[in-house]
Amino acid sequence: MLASAWLFSLVSVAPNRIVTGTSFGIVDAIGWPGAALISMLFMAIAALATVPSQGHYRAILGIIMLTLLLMPFGLMVAGHWLVDASMPQARLGIGAAYWTVLFVLLLCLVELRLRLGLSRWWPTLILSAIGAVWWGCAALWLGNLALVQEFQARDTQFYQAVKQHIALVSIAVGVSVVLGLLLAMLMRRYQRLQKVAFALLNFLQTIPSLALFGLLLAPLAWLGANVPMLAALGISGIGNAPALIALIAYSLLPMVRNTYIALEEVSVETLQAAKAMGMRTGQRFWQVRFPLALPVLLEGVRITAVQAVGLTAVAALIGAGGLGTFIFQGLGQAAMDMVLLGALPILILALMVDAGLGALADALRPGGQE
């Protein structure tokens, strides 16, 4: 972090959206006092990390939280010094040093959670509190930040894209959970189905997402044009129908695999004890096998949901909407801040889903954390 802060550009300033910005280092952006403060914080982390202990880990956690809280104020200082107030179209961009430091700090949070034995809820709560501070700073004092300007120019579209993205992910994951549970139960009953089902699901997983969207376009377009009932439901070669089919197809393999393994790994002795108590087959499944398998099953849901959050971005190419719309529009216009407007919320959604479902799985696991 120290090397990237001094060697890479911290921010860039452009007179408008079209012109390439001028890069500035840490001293030009926040001055010698700010550069010295940041350097001392990074060196303190390095010094504390040389002697591993719970107390040092807690101190490092505190320094990381302080650094994350100071980062938006550094952008405010840079914007005040570098952006000409007489140029209303001027934009402050975030440089490579800023993103590198942020990435490493988040990796440190993950490592500290493991070292301190914290529940998965803690990083989520910490990042939510810090995110609220960042959001407040962006709304009140970072109007010249390029990312904020991109958001303000299309805030209605942004909120609509977030809703579309969450809806696509929710429907795809919900359907894959139901289908995954049914397929896993059928494979347990019919062993021959196991090889065929896993072979088919593995094959679907190897097809590139864009290729699968392309393969679905022609048959769905034909069905929408020739079957009035399907046309009334909105089935066509582009839009939500092919996006949901592709998302469900990609989600089935991790869901079925985890569900099958979860159900199979329940102790035989436990099931025999339940049978000796007089439980029928259905009671043993729903009252014993399924609750014990639920933590592992939720890990499958977590993997499936995180995968779907990222994959849904590609669905924007076939008119399904979502946050991927900003990513591909930004790439087409060479506007990286618009790309970030779509990519950053996807990253945040994936982190929230991963932390929430992971914490729920830990809490349901026998002897797990609450």
Residue 77's nearest CA partner among 148, 141, 25 is: 141
Predicted local confidence at residue 334, as pLDDT: 79
Question: Are the CB atoms for 165 and 346 separated by under 8 Å?
Answer: yes
When pLDDT is averaged across residues 188-217 and rounded to a whole number, the result is: 86
When pLDDT is averaged across residues 212-225 and rounded to a whole number, the result is: 84
Predicted local confidence at residue 368, as pLDDT: 53
How many other CB atoms are found less than 10 A from the CB of residue 343?
18
Would the pLDDT of 69 be above 90?
Answer: yes
Going from the C-alpha of 141 to that of each of 4, 30, 48, 75, 282, the distances in angstroms are: 26, 16, 34, 9, 60
Give the list of residues 6+ apart from residue 340 with CB closer than 8 angstroms, or none: 147, 150, 330
When pLDDT is averaged across residues 179-193 and rounded to a whole number, the result is: 88
Predicted local confidence at residue 172, as pLDDT: 94
pLDDT digits (tens, 9 = 90+) for 353-368: 988 888 888 888 765 5
Integer Cα distance of 311 and 12 in angstroms: 31
pLDDT-based confidence at 282, cuts 50/70/90?
A: confident
pLDDT digits (tens, 9 = 90+) for 6-62: 999 999 999 888 788 899 999 999 999 999 999 999 999 999 999 989 999 999 999
pLDDT digits (tens, 9 = 90+) for 141-154: 888 899 999 999 99
Predicted local confidence at residue 124, as pLDDT: 80
For residue 109 the two structure tokens come to 């949070």
Predicted local confidence at residue 317, as pLDDT: 87
Predicted local confidence at residue 227, as pLDDT: 82
Residue 93's nearest CA partner among 184, 9, 2 is: 9
Question: Are the CB atoms for 248 and 240 separated by under 8 Å?
Answer: no
For residue 251 the two structure tokens come to 């989600």
Q: Which CATH superfamily is domain 155-364 in?
A: MetI-like (1.10.3720.10)
pLDDT digits (tens, 9 = 90+) for 241-273: 889 999 999 999 989 998 998 888 888 888 889
User: What residue ranges do the domains of the chain occupy?
Assistant: 2-149, 155-364
